[in-house]
Amino acid sequence: MEEKLANLLTDIDFEKIEMSLKEPNIFKALSVERMELKHSNFIGYLLNPNANHGLDDIFIKKFLRDIFSDSKADRRNIFDVDTINLSAIEIRREWRNIDILVILENDVVVIENKVDTMDHSNQLKRYKKITEEIFSKHRKHYVFLTPFGVDPNDDDSKANYINYSYSQISEILTSILEIYKNNLSEKVCHYLIDYKKTIDMELLMNDSLNEIALKLYNSHKEALDFIFENRPDPANILYPYFEKEIKKRGYSIGSKNKGYLRFTSQKLSKSIPKTGQGWPEKEAFLFEIDYFWSGKYAIVNALISPCDDITKQKLLSIVEKSKHFKKPSGKKWLVFYKHKTPFIPDEIVKEDEEEIEKKISDIIDASEAAISDIIKLIESEF
């Protein structure tokens, strides 16, 4: 594996990707590459000719030409765009849950934006009904925006919604950068370039860098899979915090698996026979904190693993005396104590160190009495 990793590091394609990804991109820096709300915000900004981007009506006109040239457009065609009065345009975001609403003098454009999901709960029908009620005198144009311009799920919406793609938005940006670049501020050009790069690489995956990445993966699949399996995520970022807190309280760390922190007392780690068949270190009994796999809770368990019958029965007869004991529902893994604390790992990792430490301390505090009681009972017999 070391040899495979070394070959990856010296591959010129790896260097190309590394250098390209180091280039600053405001959308990547803000981690909004696949966030629908943020995409809708920026597209709404570009559509507004009165915004401070300096594009005037260039973007909105190119967009409307695409929409009006579609057969589903309401009594409009591509030649109508230049006759429309854009001075009184209004762009609404999340109005009545509609992602983007473009209100013109005689037209209204409803845009439903989907990056990673599809339409659901009849939302497109609801938006159409709302628009028909509120804008009864306007020509109405319904747009379903997705990375690749797919149709909505239900047949009624397929008949009414124009399927529009991020590829078309990328084409508009390409056109603007080619023709109007010298007339735009340097800052706006950077934003447009960054946004086009974000669309091409993250949503469409047709950037030249995607092609290099695919080539590189095919050449170094085993090494890259190994790296991917060991990448940082909330499970391994949070583990050291749990381990530090457990050790600080004088406990002994048990078998390790991703997303779990297991522990017991110093005495029990040495005195209980290691005849278990489930954990790597073959423990028969441990406390376990599942802080990752639920996604919503940190769950403190006390459990007896699949082990020899003598040890299992002895442990069970002891812990049954605890006021915290609850009869296990399983047959192999005997979970006789459980306590849940709200804990969302994807959000917790974004907090500062002191806040993470406090929340982890609170989790263990909530079960400390039960842990202490169970340990005393078992230690008295082993």
Q: What is the pLDDT of residues 140-196, one digit of tens each?
A: 999 999 999 999 988 899 999 999 999 999 999 999 999 999 999 999 999 999 999
| List of residues 6+ apart from 375 with CB closer than 8 A | 264, 265, 268
365 & 240 share domain = yes
Mark whether 353 and 238 lie in a shared domain: yes
This prediction has a pTM of 0.59
Instruction: Please tell me whether residues 37 and 178 are part of one structural domain.
Output: yes
Q: Could you read off the pLDDT of 8-30 as tens digits, one per residue?
A: 888 898 888 888 888 889 998 88
pLDDT of residue 44: 97
Cα separation, 90 vs 105, in Å, equals 9
Name the burial class of residue 277, with classes exposed (0-12), middle (13-18) and buried (19+) by CB atoms within 10 angstroms of its CB: exposed
Question: Is residue 82 situated within a structural domain?
Answer: yes
- Residues 180 and 248 reside in one and the same domain: no
Q: Is 6 among the domain residues?
A: no
The residue out of 184, 215, 242 marking a domain boundary is 184
Report pLDDT for 117.
84
Are 155 and 62 members of one domain? yes
Q: Which of 184, 211, 244 is the last residue of a domain?
A: 184
Comparing 205 with 305, the larger pLDDT belongs to: 305
- Residue 283: pLDDT above 80? yes
Residue 189 lies in a domain: no
261 DSSP β-pair partners: 289
Mark whether 97 and 167 lie in a shared domain: yes
Which two three-digit tokens encode residue 88? Answer: 């009184």
- 12, part of any domain: no
Within a domain: 11:
no
User: Is residue 74 a part of any domain in this protein?
Assistant: yes
- Looking at the 3D structure of the chain, how many domains does it have? 2
- Answer yes or no: are the C-beta atoms of 343 and 364 closer than 8 Å: no
Domain that holds residue 50: 32-184
Average pLDDT score, the chain: 93
Rounded Cα distance, 113 and 102, in Å: 13
**Helix (H) / strand (E) containing 135:** none
DSSP string, 266-287: HHHHHHS----SSSTT--SEEE
Helix (H) or strand (E) holding 298: strand 297-304
Residues 156 and 279 placed together within one structural domain of the fold: no
Alpha helices in the chain (DSSP H): 2-9, 12-21, 26-29, 36-47, 58-68, 123-134, 155-160, 166-180, 186-198, 208-219, 221-229, 234-248, 266-271, 309-319, 345-348, 353-381
- How would you list the strands of the sheet with 334-342, edge to edge? 252-253, 260-264, 285-290, 297-304, 334-342
Return the bridge partners of 264, or none. 252
Residue 248 shares a structural domain with residue 344: yes
Residues 259, 142 share a domain: no
Residue 12 has which token pair? 């010129």
Same domain flag for 63 and 171: yes
Residue 47 is assigned to a structural domain of this protein: yes
Same domain, 260 and 355: yes
Residue 163 counted as domain residue: yes
Instruction: Say if residue 165 is in the same domain as residue 258.
Output: no
Give tens-digit pLDDT for 72-109: 999 999 999 999 999 889 999 999 999 999 999 999 99
